[in-house]
Amino acid sequence: MSDSVMSADELAARLEAAADTLLTEVANLPSDLIVWKPADEAWSVMEILCHVAEFVPYWTGQTLQIVQQPGEPWGRTHTDTARLEAVQQAGSHSLSEVMTVIRDGVQKSAATLCGLNQRDLSSEAMSRNPRWARQPASFIVEHLLIEHVEKHRSQVQRNVQQFHEREVAA
């Protein structure tokens, strides 16, 4: 976490900007690229987007949980059923549908974050994931929302690059 906690409004604006950038990049990608998987164990752009659509409300809820119930553990592992199902169901969604879900989820998340104050963001609780231990609510917002969206934007960019490299090599 950074040394100084950003305000809730600043965090909300960063989340919206990260999601806007991601959605702008995928908006006009060809449909064959959207569903293309660079490797068996890698996610397609659509799978990445479905994951983002699922985790934004999830981590927003976990942020609120720390604020409202600091004695309760927060978080999940990579084997969480809802997380896995979101990716597995990617083939049943259209790009426009998933983009709308992400936009709506980010908008609701940003509105929720704007309702928090510095004390809320400083509330701490233990994570179910031993990797995180005890963290403040701001940790979830900064790392598991904002940086998580940014990380998946980089993953989309990598997929796009690999898709085009594959075309050139063919």
Q: Kindly report, residue by residue over 132-165, the tens digit of the pLDDT.
A: 999 999 999 999 999 999 999 999 999 999 999 9
**Which amino acid appears at position 63 of this protein?**
T
- In the predicted structure, residue 75 carries a pLDDT above the cut 60: yes
Tokens read off for 151? 């990380």
Distance in angstroms (rounded) separating the CA atoms of residues 21 and 138: 22
Distance in angstroms (rounded) separating the CA atoms of residues 131 and 12: 25
Is there a domain that residue 116 lies in? yes
Instruction: Give the pLDDT band (50/70/90) at residue 3.
Output: very low
- In the predicted structure, residue 4 carries a pLDDT above the cut 60: no
Is there a domain that residue 2 lies in? no
What is the span of the domain harbouring residue 57? 8-169
Residue 5: its pLDDT value, please? 66
Counted domains in the chain: 1
- In the predicted structure, residue 82 carries a pLDDT above the cut 70: yes
Mean pLDDT of 114-137: 95
| CB 118 within 8 Å of CB 5 | yes
pLDDT over 90 percentage in the chain: 84
Global confidence as pTM: 0.93
What is the separation, in whole angstroms, between the first and last Cα of the chain?
A: 44
Tokens 């942020």 sit on residue: 63
Residue 170: its pLDDT value, please? 63
| Contacts for 115 with CB less than 8 Å, ≥ 6 apart | 8
Tokens 């701001």 sit on residue: 138
Residue 78: its pLDDT value, please? 78
Q: Assign residue 105 the CATH number of its domain.
A: 1.20.120.450
Span 15-28, pLDDT tens digits: 999 999 999 999 99
| Arithmetic mean of pLDDT over the chain | 93
Distance in angstroms (rounded) separating the CA atoms of residues 13 and 5: 14
Half-sphere exposure of 23 (CA within 13 A, CB side): 21
Is there a domain that residue 3 lies in? no
Distance in angstroms (rounded) separating the CA atoms of residues 111 and 158: 31
Is there a domain that residue 96 lies in? yes
Distance in angstroms (rounded) separating the CA atoms of residues 74 and 59: 9
Tokens read off for 150? 């940014």
